[in-house]
Amino acid sequence: MKSVITTFVVAALSLAASEAETAASTLPAAVASPAIAPSAAKPYPLDTCLVSGEKLGEMGKPFEIVYEGQQIKFCCKSCAPKFAKDPAKYLSKLK
């Protein structure tokens, strides 16, 4: 019984890690601004994820990017591709 549970847990963790890698790799380079250091970016003013609305830190360390000089924080990496599809929609929440 323990080996079945262990196998299930390992499979679930592997799937979660694979999805996180896929989400990060699908983020267009134009969204993340590697030329701008996060310390030079305009600080993120919210305590919630810009995409999901979840409180930051409840799902682990927030995933951060810099977009057009603005620091953006997400609850997880999987929110970044959603942001990339329509940045204007989500940036309107900052105003």
Q: Return the residue matching tokens 């196998």.
A: 7
Put simply, whether the predicted model's pTM sits higher than 0.85 gets the answer no
Q: Return the residue matching tokens 């890698």.
A: 21
Task: Specify whether the CB–CB gap between 49 and 59 falls below 8 A.
Answer: no
The tens digit of pLDDT for each residue in 29-79 reads 556 555 556 568 999 999 999 999 999 999 899 999 999 999 999 999 999
Work out the end-to-end distance of the chain between its first and last CA atoms, rounded to an integer number of angstroms.
53
Give the CA distances from residue 70 to residues 60, 66, 78, in Å, rounded to whole numbers and listed in that order.
22, 5, 19
Q: Where are the domains of the chain?
A: 2-94
pLDDT, position 69: 93
pLDDT, position 40: 83
Tokens of 35: 């030329």
